[in-house]
Structure formats: C-alpha cells, structure tokens
Structure 1
Amino acid sequence: MKKTWFKKTVFSYLPSLYVTIAVIVFLAIFIINEVSLKEAERTNRYSTESVIHTVENHLKSIEQRVINQMQLGEGWDEFFRYEGSESSKLRMLNYEALKRVRYLILDDAAIQSIYLYRLRDNMILAESRFESAQTFGDRDFLFHEWSQRAFADRTWSDVRLYNDNMNDNEDHPGYRVISFSQKARLPMGGEGLVVINVSVDALISQIKDIIDPHVSYLHILDGTGQLVFSSTADNIEERMVMNRLHSSVNNWEFVSGLQTGVAFSWMQFISRIWIVLGIATIVFSLAYTLFITKRNYRPIEQLVQLIQSRSDTRAVAGKGVANDEFAFIQKAIDRLIDENALHEAQVQETQLNRRKQAFATLLESDEPLHLEEWNRTLLRLDLPQTFEDGIAFVIEIDHYQAFERKYPSRSDQNLMKFSIANVLQEFVSTCGGKTWSEWNRKNRMTVVYLQAPAETRPPIAATLDSFRSWVGSHLGFTVTIGVGTPANQWEALRTSYRHAIFALQYKLSLGYDRVLFFRDAPKQRGPKTHGYYGEMNRIAQELRLAKQDWSRTVERLFDDMREGDFSDDEILHLFEYFKSGLNQAMEELPHELSSFWKGSLLPEWHRAIERESMDEIAAAIVEICQQAQHSVAELVKTKSSAQTIHQIREYVEANYWSSELCLTHLSDKFNINSKYVSQLFKEHTGVNFADYLLTLRMERAKQLLASTDRPINDIASLVGYDLPLSFGRTFKKSVGMTPSDYRKHMQSAVKLHPVGSDAESEGNHECLREAHRQ
C-alpha cells in the first residue's frame, strides 16, 4: 500500500520545518557570537587589569624603596641634618647622599632621576649638580610640591616634562615623567623634600610587552585627559570601547577593546536584526503549521464521521475518547481486533473441544460409532476413514507429584507436555503413518497410531523405547508407556486403549521407566488379596513382642506379594490394610510409642506409598517397620533394666560392708554381664558403680566415727575394708581429713551442739541413701 497520505503530510510540513530550523540555526550562531563577544570583553578586562596591576605594583615598589632609604639610609638623613659650612665635610655628605641616589636609579631602570631639596639652605642635590633651588630647572614643581602640606593622600603627578636645566633647550625640552615627592626627614617632614621622577616611556615599554596589538588595543590617559599611550594610531572615538578602568595609584585611565574591523561590527548589527527576523519566522511557521494541519486533518475527520455513522458510539466511548479523535479511532480498531481475536479463540477452542470430544468418544465411550458422523469428524481432522494396522498406547509421567514440585507453574508443565508430544511425533514419524494424541489425564497422554504398511516401518517397540530413553536423558523425568493390542478399525482401537491402560496397572510390580505391553501383563492371577489378611494381622500383632527377626518376617511378606502378580490398586490396598493393622497394634502400646508412630513413621509411610515401584515401596516400608521394631524393643529393654537396677541397688545397700562386693560379684549374682551392670548404674544413678559403693561406705564410716568409740580398724572392717591403711587413705581422699581427725572434729561439734547430733547424723545418712535410691 502506497503511503500517499503520509507523503503528502510530510511534504506539507517540510518548508515550515526547514525554514524554522534555518532561522534557529542562524539565531544560535549569532547568539553564540554574542556570548563570544561577552567572553572576549571579559578576557580583555582581565588583560587590562593585568596591565594596571603591573604599573601600580612597579610604582608602589619605587615608593617603598625610597621610603625605606629615608628611614634606614644614613646618607640622606645626614644630608638633611647638616648645618655647618665646612666645604670638605659638605662634599663628603653630598657624595654619600648621591651614592644612595645612584644606587636607586641603577636598581630600577624606570627611575629617570631623583633629587633632594634641603630647606635650611635652599639647596638642591641632583645626580649631576648641587645648586640653589632658585636656579634649579624644576623649581616650579618643587615649590608646588613643598606647598602641599598634606602628604597622607599624595599620589603620583600627571605626566609632565622634566628638565633640571634652567636654560630651556628647544631641541630637548625635557623628559616625560611622572613624579612622586616625599618630605624629609621622617616622620615629621619639615627639613626638605625628596622628588622621584619615573620615566613614562620606561613604563610604556613594559606595557607593550604585555598586550598584543593584533588582538586588542589600549589607550592610556592621565588625570588631565592627556593621551599617555595608544597601541594604535586611530582615535579613541573610532574604536568600540569594551573596558574603561581607572588606576588609583597614578590617576591614569585605561581604555581597551578588541581590534575589530568592519565585518565584526556588521556581524554585531546583523545579530540583532536576526533575532527580530527569527521571531517573525517562528510566528509565520506557527501560522503555516496551523493552516497545513487543518488541511491534513480533513481525512481524519471524515474517517471519524464514517466510524460514528457505521458503529455504535457507546461501544467505543471511554475516558478521554470524546475529545480525542485518534483515541476514538484507536478504540474502534482495538474493539475490532478484540472481537476478531475472541472469535478466533472461540473457533479454536471449539475445534479443540470437538477434537477432545471425538477422542473421548472413540476410546472411552461404550456407544457404537455413527459412521456418517464419524467420517465427517475424520475428514475434519485429516484422518483416513479406514486403515489396515493401528494401535493405541498411553504415555504416563512417572512420579507426577515430584514433576509438579519441579515445575510448579501450569505454563512450565504445559511446556514439558508439549515437548513430549513434539518429540514423540519426531520419533514416530520415522515409522510412517499418522498419529492422534491427546492429554486426557493430567499425567497421561493417549496416542492413536495408524501405522504404515508392515514391510516399510521399523518395529514400534524399538521406537517407543528410544523415545522413553530420550525423555529420561533430556527432560529430567521419566515416562512409562503402556502399549495395547493391534487393531484394524476405529472401534477396535477402544480395546487396544483398554489393553494399554491394563498394562499400566501393573507398573508397580513390573517397574516404571519402561515400555509395558499388554501381552506381557499377568493373565493368570495369583492368590486373592484376602489371602494375605490373616498373615498381615498376625505380623502386626507380633510387633508388640519385639522379636529381633520381626522385620525379616515383613520382608518375606513383601516377597510373597511380589510373586502374586497383583495390580497397582491391589498392591496399594494390601499396603493400606497392613498399615491399619500396625495402627491398631501401636494404639495398644504406651503413649510415647503411639505418638512416635503417628508423628514420625506414618508421614514416612505416606511418602513411601507415592513411589512407583513395588521394590522401592517395600524397601521404604521395611525401613519404617525396623524403626517401629527398634522403638518397641527399646521400651521393653528400658522397663526390664529399671527393675534389674532396683534389685541390684537394694542388694548393694544391704551388703556394702562385704569386701567381696564388686561388679564381678554382681554379675554372678544376677546373671548379667559386668559391663552391662556398670552401664545400668551410670544410666539410672548418674555415677558409676565404684563411686556409688564408695559413697555408701564413707557415709557409714563417718556415722560410726561420730557416734561410736569403736577403734578405727574395726570401723574399716565394718565398711568393707580388710586393710585399715587402705581405709585411711580412701577416707582422707574422700572426706579431706584422716578418720581420727574426723572423729575429733565431730566430737568437738557434739560438745558445742550436744542435742540431736546423733539424730542429725543418722538423718543425713538416711537422706543420702534415699537420694541414691531415687
């Protein structure tokens, strides 16, 4: 489709666009020129200020050196103080003063001359003469300066001609200088005057080194408006002045600017004219744009009117649509697209539902097929009405709950199922023929395969097995395939489908992740499930007896079940029946065992039943039964050991005095291993047997030492020690003192607290024995 309207719109706006852009570009250029001019003015100001600072700093430096000489130099001070008339001394003083003058002049080339005026004798000392002020050539300036009594705000003089010769010379009227005078001596200044003349030409030579006459110009005027220096020959009025700065040190005015020609002045003029032209162009472009937009809007307006006349405006009305034509058009188009997409989705959903309904009618319905209607369905599905060899098989995803946990979102699950269908199509396409597949269960895909002639196709068993291996290797889960019997007509495929389902019903016993054929499924059934009920009840009741080989009995039961050729439902039913028997047996046991069964073992049992192999389920349940057997055995063992340790403790407490009492003696007495006796003591009393026996003997010995006067040797024999020396060492190690010291200590305590001493000792002994019994 040619974009006529687009081209027309573009070309109508181009003139206004280009003109506006051109004006804006030129306007930007001249604005940049203005900015550049401002920048040049600022740069020129910096340059002029640099010149001023150079001149001022130089003059201030001369002032400071002269003042330092007046304050610190001895030659000038002695010159102004001299009052005598001795000629030799006068010449010496003049020499010293002139030496200081020449030193200053030689130190700064800008100093043209320096002379000293002494008020006392009205004499002038210059570099080349010593004469009276009345005959001095610069006497007018000298007397004028001396008449100015206030020196606080003195500045440098205006540019003047200096000549120290009283006789005027027309060929050399004098030097252009600026002068600075300072009264002497400091600080009062009533004895004379020092005049410093600085060459204007020397200062100008420094300024010339700073400025570039090709870029900028500089005019310098003194306080009277006299031109001191000009970098150009033109008149000041003929130049564009950018900066006019004043020096407070020497009262000079510095006028500067750029070396501009006619083109630069013309550009400045044009830049101002162009701003007006730019504003006028923008106004014109706006008017032109409104005119063109109105003309180009006419087709849109006609389209809106057409939509309004051909459709229900309420259907496309919405927020902001009434005032926006493009939104109105967009709304109408979106509504049209939505209606078309909805119609296509409905058509596709209808076709998908018809396809699934036809598939269900073919395989799961018991009603015979109506040939005419079925043939129309086959024609719509692009399937042949007749075929020579067909077969139905069912693909089931193993461990589907684990599959759902691995792919929790419905979209991921559908993607995996779509991959299975596509990969199957790729594998089966090598065999020729056509396939029709549907996911008629969430974990099962049923496939109707119309095979090619037998002489041209590979065996379907090998193809399906290759497909099964590929899924396990590449998709991260496994599938089991149930294959039915061949069929040569559409209704016969129902039987093939039922045979495929029948083969899958033996997945627990035959195994998963394999191809199961109907011909391999058990046809001759073993004993019925009710034949196992009695055996399971007996095994469940024997759990309470805690026999060591009880778990082996459970394993033999499961081995018999494997040989019974049971279907999956029958196997799960037997496991459920066995679980009920174990539940009943556990309910009859103590509460801690039944709680352990319900809280820990039953959840493991439920997880074991979810497995898809008889061997895996049996192995998991045998492990659960072993845990149950172990818990019951531990309970029986605990009850038996508690009774045994009670008897042993009573015997030990009654016969602690016997020197033959030891673990070996108790082992022989109660027919129990000596290590087991020690273990029982540790578990039930918290101490081992030796410490328990030692505590009993030491407590009895302390009682006898405190309450009787029997010899220590007799007491040692009464508590089971044949050797008194061994008794003494053991008593001291246990109590912290010897038996004799303990008797003395207790007798002293009895004297202090005679009432109830024996009773308290006996009471303590009985409390200790009671604590050990507990």
Structure 2
Amino acid sequence: MKTNWFNRLLLSYLPVFFIITLSLLLMTFLTLSEMSKKASVRANNALSHNISKLIDNKLADIDSLLLYEIQNNEKIKQFFSDNPKENRHYTDIQASSALKELLQNNPNIDSIYLYRTPDRTILTPSTLTELNDFMDSQFVGISLNSRVPYHWTARTLAPQMTDGRNAQRVISLAKNTNLSNLSILIVNVRVESLLGWIASMTDNNSTFVHLNDEHGNLIVSTEAGPDGKTSGMRAGSVLSSSVSEQTGWIISSGTLNGGILEFVSSLFYLWMAIASVIVIAGLTWIIYVSRRQYRPVVTLMNMISGARKASPAHLKTEKVDEFKFIESSIEELLDESNMLQEQHKELSVYHKRHLFLSLMEDGNATANFGKYLEEELSRLGIDQPVSGSLVAIVEIDHYAEFAIQYRSDQHLLKYILGASVKELVENKPFTVWTEWISNSKMGILFLFHQQESQQEVLECCEKLRDWVANNLDFTVTIGIGPLIHQLELTAESFREAVNAVGYKSSLGMNRIITPDHVVSKPKGELFKQLQVFRIISQSFRLGDEKWEDYYREMYQTLEDQLYTHDDLSSLMQVLIGYLQKEMAELTEEPNNVWIRDVQPSLLMALEEETQDEIYNAFYNILKAAFDKLNKLRESKSSHQLMHQVKIYIADNYSNPDLSLTHLSDEFGLNAKYLSRLFREAFGMKFVEYVSDVRMEKSIQLLIETEETIQDIGRAVGYDQSLTFIRVFKKHTGETPGQYRKKNSTE
C-alpha cells in the first residue's frame, strides 16, 4: 500500500521516458550520420583530385623521361640514324643496352621497345626483329596509323609479350623519335603500378577507387579481382569523381557498403519525422498523465487550506505552494534547533580556547585572575586543586608538505593527535588540556594535582612522538617548558616551550627539546660568519675549488651554535647577498646563469626546515652552478691561458714587481689585452685579484706565525710596511696589529 502511489507514478512516466530518450538518441545518431556522410563526400572529392594529380605527375614524369632519352641518349639516336645497314649491328646493340638500363632504373616501366620505320625493325632490350614477327605489331600499326596525338592507352599484353606469364594489363604510350620517317618509341607501364599509387593514398577497408578511361572502360580498381574484372567488387556508392587533365581518365571514389547503417542513413528525413512524432506524442502523454495525477494533490491542498483557515481562492491568488510551506516550516524549526545547539558548542569551544590562550599570555599574574581560573577550570570539570603546571608545544614537521598532502584531512589528523595525547595520560597524576595555537602548533597544558613529576611528562611526550612517527605519515617535534608552581604564571613555561621548539632547525626534528638542550649550545652570532661568507663568495667567483672547504668550515661553525629557523634564514640570505655581489662582477653570460637559475633556487631552498636540509640544498645548488660556470670558462679560448696566469700569481705573489707589465713580458701578451682577458675570466681587475691573494696569505701568516708585520708585508710583496698596513686595513677594516690581537684573543 505504501508503494502504490510510487508505482503508479513510475509506470506512468518511465516507459515514456525510455521511448523519448531512445527517439532523441536516434535523432542524434541520424544527425551525426548525415554530417559524417557530408564530410565523407568532401573527403572523397579531395581524394579523387589528389589521386588524379598523382597519376598525372607520375605519367608526366615517364613522358618527360622518354622525351629526354629520345633527345639526349646518343645510343638511341644512333639507332634511328641513316647509317648503312652493314654498320647498324653495333649501334643496335648499344641501343638495346640503353633500353635495358632504362628498364633497370625505372621499375614502373614493364617493357619498352623501338620501331625504326625505314627497315621495319623492332628493337627490345633483348631482341631485334622485324615488325611482322613482333607479337605487339598490331599496337605498332595502330599507333602509326592514328590520326590523333599519341596518348596513354590501357590495353592487355599477350602472354608472349610478358615472358610467358599470364596476360598483363598495361598502359602504353607511343613517342615520335624521328618525324621524317615516323619512327616511334613505345613504353608499357603495368596497371599494378597505377594500383600501387592509388592504394598508397586510400584505405581499402573503407574506401574504393575506380580508374576508367575516357570511354568509361575500367582500367584499374582497388576492388577489382586478379583478372582485372569488377564482378567481385563489394557494393558501394560513388561519392565523387575527377577527370585527369593529362589523360582524360576518370577517377571515381566512394565508401564501401555500410549495410543496414547505410540503409538507415538513406532514409534520413523519414526517420527524423518518425522520431519527432514519437517525441511529441510522449510529451503529450506526460502532460495528460501529470494533470490526472495532480488531482489528489488538489484534494490535499484543500484539506491543508481548511486546517490553516485559508481558502483555495486565497492560495491561488497568492500562489502559495502548501507542500513547500509545510516543508519549509518544519525545516525552519529543525534549523533553528540545530543552530542553537551549534552556537552552544561553538561558544563552549571558543570560551575554552580563549581561556587557554589567556593563560598563556603574560600580564595575567594577578590575584583576581587566579580566582577566575579556578572557577573556569571547575566548569570544565577540573575540580581538584592545581599544584603546578607545565606547557609542551607539539609542532608538525614539514608543515607545508603536510598541508599539501592532507589538504582535506588536516582537521581529522589534528583531532587524532589531540586524542592520542589524552589517551597516553590516562591513569596519570595530572590532567592535560590541548589546544591548537596555530596551524602547525598544538599546545599541551599539564596540570598537576598532587605530586609534580616532570619525568612522567617527558615519558608521555616521548611516547607521543614515537607513536606519531610509527603510525602516521609525518613526524612532530615537541618543545617542553619548565615546571611552574603557580598556575597564573604558566605563561613562563609556555614561552620557554615555544622558544625550545623554535631551535629545531639546529637541534633536529622528530625529537624532544627541553630547556637543558637549548642552554647546552651557544646562540649563533651573525657577524662572526661574515668573513667566511666573503671568502666563500670570492673563491666561488674565481673558480677556486677551495670554496667547498670554506663552506664546510662554515657549516661546522653553525653546528656548534643554536639558530632559530628565522635566524638561519637571515644568515643564509646574507650569504646569497655576498654571492650576488661577487657574481655581478663577472661577464654577462655567467651573471645571467646566476640570476636566472642559481639565485631563485637558493631562495627556494630557504624554505627547508632544518639546518642540515638547508646546508645540503645550498651545497648541491652551488656545486652544480660552480661546475656550469667552469664549463663556461673552459669554453672560452683564453681559459687555459688565464689558468696559467692564475697559477703564476699564486707562485709569485711575493714578488714586489708583479704587475700587468711583468705578466705581459712573461707570457708575451699586450698588457691591455691581458687585463681584459683577466677581467672576463675572474670578474675583477688584476690589481684587486693580486691584492686579495696577498691579503689571504698575510692573514694566514698573522695567525699562524710570530713574524713582525714588516716581515709579513715583505713576504707578501710589499716592501713598504705603510703600504701593506693601508691595503690590509682597506681589505679587512682593521690594521694587521689589531687583527692579530683580536684573533689571538679569541
């Protein structure tokens, strides 16, 4: 009974729906079929025209070849000359050889022979005979007696003309070789060659092509049998034809028999009319059935209008849908109830989060705030007195990758993380309170009620870290603050926990970080790295492989210090700045490589989270760029010379007379030309480069030896100590004495 109304509606509309749908599908199919047929006609027109062009071009090539041989082949010309009969034997042999060569070079030609009219002699590639004894004498006679210009003619050769093979269908052309005595050259081309040309442009599975002569006789067809007859051809309709401009032959093409589909397509307008009638009849039936089924709805509307004290006329005037009205009224009540429940939940969650964040803020350590906290904790179900608190910060490692990988499941995974914390602290002498303080950080507040056990907190955090690493596709780093004995001072523990987790770039990810770990290493200082950055940048620009040693030395210094990710990012940006400054001194091509490829990659590498990841990313990028720049240098013809100059400077920097003039004498080059090559290779002037080499050596001597400043100056090429001190201060910003004193103190 419950499904009776539904069945009635279903049986009323479903058959009509299927009939209309099938009719529309039929109309669509017929329309597409008609469009396909028109497209096929256009394609066949193009095909016929192209095949006609192809055959004309092929036959024209053969015609041109014959004309060329008649006019230029001396062997053939001698055959038709007026030599005495006793002198013709040698010329006949030479002409036969020429015909053989012509056949070998033109596989489309089936046979060729010459006819000399004065002595009625036929010459083939293999025989010399008289016309009366020649098997194809009839065609020779027809050609000689023809009153129309010679043209390509389709015919069948006798078996004797095909070396004993079956009768061969060919197309033949006669060419005049001597107008004075009407001598001719006759060439035969196999019909199979025509078929091959046609087949190369057609699909025999769907398309057929007929080639007929000007009288309508079939020459060749893609559907013809082995005997050349068309009795075995599959039925198909000719869609287009084209007439050859050269031969007058007719090329016809069309599609093969499509069976019942072609029959259906041929009655396109009839089927479209039948389908249209079916659609109109179906729509009429739907309207009729809808009006009939609407009567019970009218009755229900009248009953509802009576209960609502509204007349049917009133409903019609205001166009009120009673079912819609009842449905909307119930939905409004349900929506209002759900909204109130959601608002209550949201307010509770918001209030709890607000209380958590207020507890983590400074400036709340007042007596009133402590009392307020006790009241609010009591509302949250924490009735026991709080003797101490501790804050832990759980940060998701590689959060950018996490956000991309779990675009739609982030909230679920964060909920699982919070639930895991609560599950791990069951039966522990403390209560936990978790809140997400940012997209990547979750704060955990441990509230102690009796005894305060910081070790148990560490164990719970370690279990949480291990569980996430083994069961989820990401890891977390947890920073733990110190134990606080006054609840209103919890912000101190929070601040230390945030500070601890901030150093994970140096200490590593997927671990626990406590304040003890933070104080175990000194904080990193930016300015101590500037000198190393400068040396790295200069070595990198000069193509000196020692830059890798300096880079590793810098990293060892970084490993011994603590950096937050922001500090580390700022530090490496300074290195990028030094490198950018040095690379700007190079020529345009290496500088473009730096700006286009290297610098953007280095800036992108700063998004890595840990110190090791940033170091490795920078090293790989710089190493690839260094190799690429070296290849650019090596591609220059002057690279080997500049390399020798560089070695010479390294060996003779202590020579006070080392100058461009000295080098030009040493290497036999013009000083200005040498200066230009040096700047192109190393991106700096010769004087600056020599000064840098001397200053690096002097710094080494100041640190490693006890020699006087004057002796060190002479050792690096400065006879005057004042000149050495001036250059050193310009290079380092300090005098040699100040530099030695500072570094010996450190």
What TM-score comes out, normalization by structure 2 length? 0.43
What TM-score comes out, normalization by structure 1 length? 0.41
Q: Which has the larger radius of gyration?
A: 1
